[in-house]
Amino acid sequence: MKNNNHTFWAMVCHLSSLVGFLLPGFSIIGPLIVWGLKRHDHPLIMKNGRNVINFILSYWIYTFGLLAVFTLFAVCVMLPGSMLFQVFMRNAFTSFVMFFYGASAIVYICIYGFVHVVLPIYGGIKALNGEVYRYPFTLSLLKETEPLVIEKTKKAK
């Protein structure tokens, strides 16, 4: 196992996202601070920090999208004057549909919590070993700028 300063900071990028469980909504603050201060020190920090920030932003996008779908469904179904409300109230499957709706929301919340705890820890272990960890189902929102970092690193040597 490599125990260099840059592997430590790459690991901190991943693990600092866990702050979001103590302060909801602040999961991006820790990685942004570490990445902003240390990204020009080594390409490993640059790549891991960018992957963590992309991960957090991607899952925020997924969460807001699913929240919009759940809210739209709930409003359309539960408004007494709506056509869907009248259909669901006359339908024998009303309780099944509502159960499925609630169960899918609970399943998503459990998966979301699991993903936001396990993957940053796994990414931190990979970073401590000197590897770049790319999170699954992550959108590439931040562009790669490694050539600038590599040139700066070579000049510093």
| 87's tokens | 């259909």
CB 52 within 8 A of CB 35: yes
Nearest one of 15, 1, 3 to 121, comparing CA atoms: 15
Mean pLDDT computed over 20-35:
87
Output phi, psi for 26, to 5 deg.
-100, 15
Nearest one of 84, 81, 61 to 73, comparing CA atoms: 84
Report the alpha-carbon distance of residue 157 to residue 149 in Å, rounded.
13
User: In the prediction, which pLDDT does 15 show?
Assistant: 94
Would the pLDDT of 118 be above 50? yes
Q: Between 1 and 116, whose confidence is greater? A: 116
Would the pLDDT of 95 be above 50? yes
pTM (2 decimals)? 0.77
